[in-house]
Amino acid sequence: MTEAADIDVAHVAKLARLNLSEEETKLFQTQLRRVLDYAAKLQELDTSGIETAAHAVPVFNVLRDDEPRDWFSAEEALSNAPRQANGLFVVTKVVE
């Protein structure tokens, strides 16, 4: 397994939209390399012909009737918003 040595924490942090301090980046680099080195043992097993188990107890096509019912008012839905105005969530500018 050479991939384990390749983890670029700074790059992955960008993908995850998560700023890290330089110190954290360095620390995670070391710690996660150890975790991934350990996880390399998964490669020892022959898994050809094994289906992936996304859920332990698979259930399919679980549907309920699509009926309107009471739910939160706009006011309630906004009650935890960090910023709001005119009954709307205020978001950061997306388009210049």
Partner 1 sequence: MTLSDLLACNVTELQALLRRREVSPREVVEALHTRIQEIDPQIDAYLSLDFEEALRQAEVADVTLPLGGVPIAIKDMISVAGQPCTCGSKILRNYRALYDATLVRKLRAAGAIPFGKTNMDEFAMGSSTENSSVKPARNPWDLSRVPGGSSGGSAAAVAADEAFAALGTDTGGSIRQPAALSGVVGLKPSYGRVSRFGVVAFASSLDQAGPLTKTVRDSALLLNAIAGADPQDSTCLNEPIPDYTQHLGRDLRGIRLGLPREYMVDGIDPQIRAAIDAAVAQLRSLGAEVVDVSLPHTEYAVAAYYMIASAEASANLARYDGVRYGHRAENIQNLFDHYGRTREEGFGAEVKRRIILGTYVLSSGYYEAYYDRAQKVRELIRRDFGRAFEKVDALISPTSPDLAFPIGERSFDPLRMYLADVFTIAANLAGICGISLPCGFAKMNDGKQLPIGLQLLGKPLGEATILQIAHAYEQSTEWHKQRPPVAATPTHA
Contact positions toward partner 1, by CB under 8 A?
1, 3, 7, 9, 12-13, 15-21, 24, 28, 31-32, 34-36, 38-39, 41-45, 47, 50-57, 59, 62, 64, 72, 76-77, 79-83, 89, 91-94
**Least distance to partner 1 from the beta carbon of 87, Å?**
13
Tracing tokens 């008012």 back to the chain, one arrives at 73
Alpha-carbon distance 91 to 32, whole Å?
34
d(C-alpha 74, C-alpha 76), whole Å? 5
Element (H, E) at 89: strand 88-89
Q: What is the closest distance, in whole angstroms, from the C-beta atom of residue 49 to partner 1 in the complex? A: 9
| Cβ at position 18, least distance to partner 1 in Å | 5
